Amino acid sequence: MANQSPCTYVIFGATGNLSLTKLMPAFYHLEVEGRLAPEVNIVAIGRKNWTDEQWICVVKESVDFKARGGMSIERFNQFASRLAYFHMDVNDATSFPKLGQFICDKGWSCNMAFYLSMSPSDFGPVVKNLGDSQLLDETKGWKRVVLEKPFGYDSDSAKALQHQLNKYLTEEQTYRIDHYLGKGMVQNLMVFRFANILMEPLWNRNYIDHIQITHSEDRPVGTRAGYYDHSGAMRDMIQSHLLQLLALIAMEPPACIEAESLRDEKVKLLKSIRPITQKNVNAQAFRAQYSQGVLNGKSVNGYLEEEGVAHDSVTETYAALKLYVDNWRWEGVPFYLETGKNMPQSQTLISICFKHPPQQFFKASQVKKMEPNWIVFRIQPDEVIKIEMTVKKPGLEIDTQQVSLDASLMDTEGFSNDAYEELLLDVIKGDHSLFLRFDEVKACWNIVDPIIQAWSANTSFIETYSSGTWGPKGANKLFEHAGQEWRHFVEINDA
């Protein structure tokens, strides 16, 4: 497989959880697959006064835990030869020229990618220090900056952050990462839609009743409680990941697969979402917070009992939303988005429910009501496409049953690439397709801002749901028709 371009990856916040559980294992897997050029090197930035050897030991332990199919010592040693550790305080502006000299002394590539795996409050100061130290100067090699979510806290803070970055970065140098876009099944949404002509005539308001996008987690906030209590499910999941999935499933076909065409269509779709007014928040949004319960066979605390959570917090750990897209294709079709913690299973589903036929063909038979057709994309934990249809049961009577066509997209060994692997490579290649443009970020904030503002003003009460359940029953009020409910289950037929 062809090697990629030379590059020096600089990881700020390298000793943090994201770097150790995602980035370093992803780099190792790219090493195993031969996707890194010999001139790709990785500098870890941290406050701990470690040597290269100490850092490599930490990385080895992390990779050993996450490596697909077990870690190869030989491959890890090859990978370790790319690693270096640089001790610095990112708040010390004088450290940045020293970082540049460190890379120069190593003789490493002047093509540099700076990955900011750190608090968003550090984005502006770090980029300023990089710029003031000439580390973003592209006269010698390209310079790119990768920013983890969230980008801002609301629309105003996102604009303020972008204003700071504009002083030192162009849009072409900026890579706002949403790791969901790197997942294989997420990219498969585009292939499924646009490579199969039989789908296009059905992909509209004439045939689709509604679309659900759900993300559940079978764990609490854990060590993220301090961050989460100031964020909540709407900011943490819906504003970023789930709105991205909505854009991909509903956008018009891009003119080509190039980054700007793809991002143009996503922005156009997001801007077509009907604004939610303050008076409609209660009709189109629902929030709740997990309480005590039983999860995975164990008694667990409620959110207010988690360490780092304010005792009177009304931060939502569950959020649901009903949206409408005001364009020709989707007029009148509701899109339901749902996310929650401490639920029975961790999974992400996109469930497309088709309308019933115009008339019940079997009026005179035993069949009172047939189930609708569904297409379900399971993005995680494993990647599956499921198509559900109605057929006749064997026998003399005309009884119907639901059958499905199931396609598992796992490889033959049951593994799938981690999203970060492709995203890290795309930064080296300069491919923005799976990264967010600022007008895309701004459009997402504009959708959820009225809800966040309304919820922020109501600090006296929040609904609860027992841990280990599928969320609050009250969220079903968002559905337009009686009998409709959230879809949380996908049974896969083994071949």
Catalytic residues: 241
CA 258 to chain centre: 21
- Which helix H or strand E contains 435, and what residues bound it? strand 435-436
Helix-then-strand count for the chain, H and E: 15, 18
Q: What Cα–Cα distance (Å) separates residue 478 from each residue in 36, 210, 247, 488?
A: 48, 12, 20, 16
From residue 272, give the alpha-carbon distance in Å to each of 170, 389, 462, 478.
27, 31, 30, 20
Q: Which residues of 240-279 are buried (b: 16+ CB within 10 A; e: fewer)?
A: bbbbbbbbbbbbeebeeeebeebbbbbbebbbbbeebeee
Q: H/E element holding 43?
A: strand 40-46
- Please tell me the chain's helix, strand, coil percentages from 3-state DSSP, rounded to the nearest 5: 35, 20, 40
- Strands 374-380 and 384-392, bridge-based pairing: antiparallel
Q: Provide the β-strand partners of residue 45.
A: 12, 86
Question: How far is Cα 347 from Cα 325, in angstroms, rounded to an integer?
Answer: 25
Cα 124 to Cα 147: distance, rounded to the nearest angstrom:
10
Element (DSSP H or E) covering residue 380: strand 374-380
The span from the CA of 45 to the CA of 89, in Å, is: 9
DSSP string of 78-122?
HHHTTEEEEE--TT-TTHHHHHHHHHHHHT--S-EEEEE-S-GGG
Q: How far is CA 313 from CA 3, 60, 79, 305, 334, in A?
A: 50, 39, 45, 10, 31
- 453: three-class secondary structure by DSSP: helix
DSSP 136: T
- Report phi then psi at 482, rounded to 5: -60, 140
